[in-house]
Amino acid sequence: MGEMISQSAKDGFDTLLQQALKASLVPSETSAEISVIEDVSAISEKKIVVLTVSSYLFRLMVMFYFTPDAATKGHFARLNRVDPAEMGEQAFMDAIAECGNLCCGILNRDLGRFFPHLGMSTPNVIDKNCAAYLQKLNCAHIQHFAVDMPESPRFHVSLCISAYAEMDFAVSADEDEVSTGELELF
């Protein structure tokens, strides 16, 4: 039996996640560099926000690693255009969860072009130590990313896909334009 997920599909999932990250995690006036990392020991953040996008063919988990510190709070305050001093602990956690929701919503919408009947979970915050058990999920594709932006801490994101059937699709170059979901009136 061959790979459950073709290389083209793996590249497609990775590309769509990177586009969704740029549209959700990166402030509009900022540029970001997203790179694939092999060494997961570089991921030192303490907490993870986990979201799931599922269909009949796969379950995809996106994990946003973060440390609840001043630099991270500053990033999410800037992203939400509020003063970090005015962002309490609950507002900070809500902002991180909402960012994850936005990212996975974009990913869900973009994957909808290739897969029908997608569902999305609500964000769950778990301890980083839970990530040690990822291999138990028998994922057909795992990719780890580092997101670097000026004036922000480095963020790490993991993509894990469990496949229930063989999958093959391709994201063409002209689909690389990031749509932020603005309403168009005709």
Q: Looking at residue 2, what is its pLDDT? A: 60
What is the per-residue pLDDT across 149-176, written as a single tens digit (0 to 9) for each? 998 999 999 999 999 999 999 998 654 4
**pLDDT for 28:** 83
- At CA 95, angle to CA 102 and CA 128, rounded to 5? 90
Residue 89 CB neighbour total at 10 angstroms: 9
pLDDT at 179 exceeding the cut of 60: no
- The string over 33-44, giving b where at least 16 C-beta atoms fall within 10 Å of a residue's C-beta and e elsewhere, is ebeebeeeeebe
Give the per-residue pLDDT at 174.
58
Segment 94-113 shows an average pLDDT of: 95
- pLDDT for 136 equals 77
Contact 154, 25 (CB under 8 A): no
Percent of the residues in the chain that have a pLDDT greater than 70, as a whole number: 91
Name the band, by pLDDT with cuts 50, 70 and 90, for residue 178: very low
**pLDDT (0 to 100) of residue 157:** 96
pLDDT digits (tens, 9 = 90+) for 7-36: 999 999 999 999 999 999 998 888 999 999
As a whole number of angstroms, the distance between CA 48 and CA 97 comes to 10
> What would the two tokens of residue 160 be?
């894990």
Instruction: Examine the pLDDT at 132 and tell me if it is beyond 80.
Output: no
Q: Is 39 helix (H, G, I), strand (E, B) or coil?
A: coil
Looking at every residue in the chain, the average pLDDT score rounds to 88
Report pLDDT for 47. 93
Average pLDDT over residues 75-80: 93
Domains and CATH numbers, the chain: 7-166 (3.40.1550.10)
For residue 148, the cross-strand partners are 33
Cα–Cα distances (Å) from 6 to 29, 30, 74, 131, 137, in that order, read 35, 33, 39, 25, 19
Q: Which of the four pLDDT bands, split at 50, 70 and 90, describes residue 112?
A: very high
